[in-house]
Amino acid sequence: MSPVSRLQSLLERREFTVSAELGPPKGPNIEVITTKIGLLRGMCDAVNVTDNQTAIVRISSAATCALLVQQGIEPIMQMTCRDRNRLAIQADLFGAVALGVRNLLCLSGDHQVFGNHPTAKNVFDLDSVQMIGMVKRLRDEGLTLGGEPVDGAMPMFIGGAANPFGDPFELQVLRALKKANAGVQFIQTQCIYDMVRFREWMKRVTDLGIPEHVHILAGVMPLKSAGAARYINNNVAGIYVPDPIVKRMSAAGKGQKARDEGIRITAEIIEQVREIPGVHGVHIMAVEWEEAVQPLTEMAGLLPRPVLAEGE
Amino acid sequence: MIVAERKPIAELTSRLAPYRRILVVGCNTCVAVCSAGGAKEVAVTSALLRIALGREHPETRVDETCVERQCEVEMNAELAPSLGNYEVILSMACGVGVQTLAEQFNTAVVIPALNTKFMGRPEGLGEWSERCAGCGNCVLERYAGVCPITRCSKNLLNGPCGGSANGRCEVDPERLPCAWQLIYDRWVALGQLDRYLTNEPAKDWSSSLHGGPRRIQREDIR
């Protein structure tokens, strides 16, 4: 099957890909999206568009992705199971494909208690493994989960997430295999600070043969300050910033100096993950700090991004 | 059992403020066992209501009684003769008991005293935990006896999510174990970890509340 997206094309010809992340605004403010597109254009191969990230209501991922397509940026549409049942997920996917979206990241979704509508009823009709299987069926068999034919083709490059830093560690390894078995084609990982644990996770998934079928894109997130690192360690389950990194951030001071150090540390992490067999790209999560992507990709030697010939 | 918790006295007082003749009806089954609505709690609640409501209206009368199982019409029949003496029934049963009284005594005003919480079990003194969501199609055999639908905050059938750390669930690490850690530990102990590799397909939720109100009819008993 020929690649359906730029991201897939680049990965299949073994380019080390770069994806970034665009957090949509908390309302229909297209200017914010356009500004962020300006910060990311030319810096990456595709852009993740989050779906009510951390359960905070924002302009929909599908609509934002359509705007990106219009402006010539390739989106990776994030889709969570938290807010939609199997009917809504399939309907939104039909719409996204019709509007030119080709890359999909299937996620369970952050729990609503962390967001701005903690009293909401969640859905979780499917989980992310089941969503991956459903999308594969839509695409390869042309059938909905209910078994009826899909009217039209569903060219999709199917992605999922993995957290090498979550527990139980063995299940976080095997879950990647479950996703691979369900049909995932690329995996973006949670933010990596702890190289020891990430190397171990990569070794385990490589032993299982996963990178032969699934492109693994290592997730990184530049830190803005030592406080941000400490906040993550104290409040975010499943991400851990090792002490030496916290100390470097502290030593860098405050403001721009700390931000520069955060970018430097991230560039070093990128250099390290690049050397790990099976890592086929990097996913930069500069959440609400899209300005960081240019200096970071520059410092990590990831620019210029490859250009695909027409029809490639 | 069904686990319930009494509403705050202030809430009950405000709901009961318009009434002067009140009958508090407890239930001797689940809610008695979980110390929410049995004879003892009926006595305590009634006493508190007499004090609270009596401040403004000393003539307020709060009587108390307890039936064996408020969810069964036959067991409530004993209430019928005296109901004419009251303006309102404060039911200290679960939601099933409250609805049974309301349906059975169609001219009676029935107010719930409890918040019905879940199907669960005691965890030592003064603590209860949810164990069953009543999904109508039990999957426990596939998860080494730990229910991911009830005990995973995201009901993941192919968990865990990335928010499991040190055996705890990120939604409330103090109080909630990660269900998937529990499942994993059991699988390892039983030598059944290979079960994890079978992807669990999308669940048929039609047997759960999501399929609409449920009813069981058994011809062998009718």
pLDDT 10s digits, B34-83:
999 999 999 999 999 999 999 999 999 999 999 999 999 999 999 999 99
* Å between A296 CA and nearest CA of chain B: 26
| Contact state of A127 with B196 under an 8 Å Cβ cutoff | no
Q: Is residue B192 part of a domain?
A: yes
Residue B27's CATH number: 3.40.50
Q: Strand order in B128-132's β-sheet?
A: B2-6, B114-122, B128-132
**Does residue B89 sit in the same domain as residue B152?**
no
Residues B112 and B7 in one domain: yes
Structure token pair of residue A161: 């997430």
Listed residue (A60, A166, A55) closest to A114, CA to CA: A55
- CA separation for the pair B45, B30 (Å, rounded): 18
Identify the CA nearest to A285 among candidates A28, A19, A14, A13: A19
| In a domain? residue B42 | yes
Q: Which helix (H) or strand (E) holds A67?
A: helix A61-70
For residue A150, give its domain range.
Answer: 6-223+268-290
Final residue before a domain boundary, out of B118, B152, B183: B118
Residue B40 lies in a domain: yes
Q: Which residue of B has its CA nearest to A235?
A: B170
What is the pLDDT averaged over residues B186-211? 96
Please tell me the distance from the alpha carbon of residue B201 to that of residue B204, in angstroms, as a whole number: 9
Q: CA B63, CA B61: separation in Å to the nearest integer? A: 6
User: Do A215 and A258 form a contact (C-beta atoms < 8 A)?
Assistant: no
Cβ of A171 within 8 Å of Cβ of B196? The answer is: yes
CB contact under 8 A, B180 and A109: no
Residue A129 in domain? yes
Does a structural domain hold residue B216?
A: no
Enumerate the residues of chain B whose CB falls inside 8 A of the CB of residue A190.
Answer: 162
**Residue ranges in chain A modelled with pLDDT below 50:** none
Chain B contact set for A134 (CB, 8 A)? 202
How confident is the model at residue A287, as a pLDDT? 85
pLDDT at residue A277, rounded to an integer: 96
Confidence band (pLDDT; 50, 70, 90) for B175?
very high
Q: Kindly determine whether residue B200 and residue A161, on different chains, have CB atoms separated by under 8 Å.
A: no
**Domains of chain A: total:** 1
The Cα B31–Cα B34 span in angstroms is 5
Residues 6+ apart with CB under 8 A from A118: A55, A112
- Structural contact between residues A162 and A204, judged by C-beta atoms closer than 8 angstroms: no
Nearest CA in chain A to B167: A167
User: How many independent structural domains does chain B possess?
Assistant: 2
Q: Which of B158, B163, B166 sits opposite A127 (nearest CB)?
A: B158
Closest Cα to residue A109, out of B12, B159, B168?
B159
Give the ranges where B87-173 is alpha helix by DSSP (H): 95-104, 148-151
Residues A56 and A38: their CA atoms lie apart, in Å, by: 24
The verdict on residue A133 lying in a domain is yes
> Which residues contact residue B201 at a Cβ distance below 8 angstroms, ignoring those fewer than 6 apart?
A130, A133
Domain-embedded: residue A280: yes
Residue B128's SS3 state is strand
The residue count of chain A comes to: 312
**Among B68, B91, B118, which residue terminates a domain?**
B118
Q: Is A75 helix (H, G, I), strand (E, B) or coil?
A: strand
Q: What is the CATH number of the domain that holds A67?
A: 3.20.20.220
Whether A235 is in a domain gets the answer no
B99 and B175 share one domain = no
A170 touches chain B (CB under 8 A): yes
- For the segment B131-141, what is each residue's pLDDT rounded down to a tens digit? 999 999 999 99
Alpha-carbon gap: A136 to the closest alpha carbon of chain B (Å): 13
Specify whether B114 is located in the same domain as B176: no
With 0-12 / 13-18 / 19 or more C-beta atoms within 10 angstroms meaning exposed / middle / buried, residue A118 is exposed
pLDDT at position A311 is: 62
Residue type, B91: S
Domain end: B75, B94, B118, which one? B118
Is the Cβ of A167 closer than 8 Å to some Cβ of chain B?
yes
Residue B75: which residues within 8 A CB-CB, separation 6 or more? B67, B68, B69
**Are B98 and B166 found together in one domain?**
no
Among A106, A130, A181, most B C-beta atoms within 10 A, so best to mutate, is A130
Q: Among residues of chain B, what percentage have pLDDT more than 70?
A: 100
User: Does the distance separating the beta carbons of B202 and A237 come in below 8 Å?
Assistant: no
Which ipTM did the prediction report?
Answer: 0.96
Residue B94 sits in the same domain as residue B193: no
User: Is residue B15 located within the same domain as residue B81?
Assistant: yes
> What pLDDT does residue A272 have?
98
Domain hosting B112: range is: 2-118
Q: Which pLDDT value is given to residue A312?
A: 61
Q: Is residue B127 part of a domain?
A: no
**Is residue A125 one of the residues assigned to a domain?**
yes
**B203 lies in some domain:** yes
Query: Tokens 């299949």 sit at which residue?
Result: A12
Q: Identify the CA nearest to A17 among candidates A304, A195, A307, A283.
A: A283
Tokens read off for A144: 């909905």
| B24 and B79 fall within a common domain | yes
| B123 within some domain | no
* A-chain residues near B162 (CB < 8 A): 161-163, 165-166, 172, 190, 237-238
Are residues B23 and B87 part of one domain? yes
Q: B62 and B9, same structural domain?
A: yes
Does residue A251 fall inside a structural domain? no
**Residue B162 within a domain:** yes
Contacts of B161 in chain A (CB under 8 A): 108, 163, 166
Distance CA A90, CA A219 (A): 27
